[in-house]
Amino acid sequence: MYRPHPFSWVPADGQRHATTDPKPRQGYHGIVVRTLCSEALTVDNSDLGWLWPTCPSCNAGAHELAGAAHGADPAE
Ligand SMILES: [Zn+2]
């Protein structure tokens, strides 16, 4: 199965985090995942969860994992 990036975004604990844990057959909701910011958090895959802000540590880690095609950002 094609995965564009070796991680997934998961809402947990008031922020959207990224995790490299494999996605369970039933999805991430309600399970504990190890996030890129080194936390073990229970995923809250609700509609509201996806409106939470992105965890800055996970965002940085995700960009690293994705090979950081980030050069287009003038802020960097
Ligand atoms: Zn995080």
Domains of the chain: 8-64 (2.30.30)
pLDDT digits (tens, 9 = 90+) for 6-60: 899 999 999 999 999 999 999 999 999 999 999 999 999 888 888 999 999 999 9
| Identity of the amino acid at 10 | V
More confident residue, 22 or 72: 22
CA dihedral sign of residues 26, 32, 34, 35: positive
Q: Residue 76's pLDDT is what?
A: 43
Tell me the CA–centroid distance for residue 71 and ligand 1, in Å: 23
CB atoms within 10 A of CB 72: 6
Tell me the CA–centroid distance for residue 60 and ligand 1, in Å: 9
Tell me the CA–centroid distance for residue 39 and ligand 1, in Å: 7
Q: Residue 16's pLDDT is what?
A: 96
Q: Residue 72's pLDDT is what?
A: 47
Q: How far is CA 31 from CA 15, 26, 27, 34, 60, in A?
A: 16, 10, 9, 10, 23
Tell me the CA–centroid distance for residue 72 and ligand 1, in Å: 24
Tell me the CA–centroid distance for residue 15 and ligand 1, in Å: 7
CA separation for the pair 50, 38 (Å, rounded): 20
CA separation for the pair 11, 51 (Å, rounded): 9
Model confidence, pTM: 0.79
Tell me the CA–centroid distance for residue 22 and ligand 1, in Å: 16
Token digits of residue 24: 């369970």
More confident residue, 67 or 25: 25
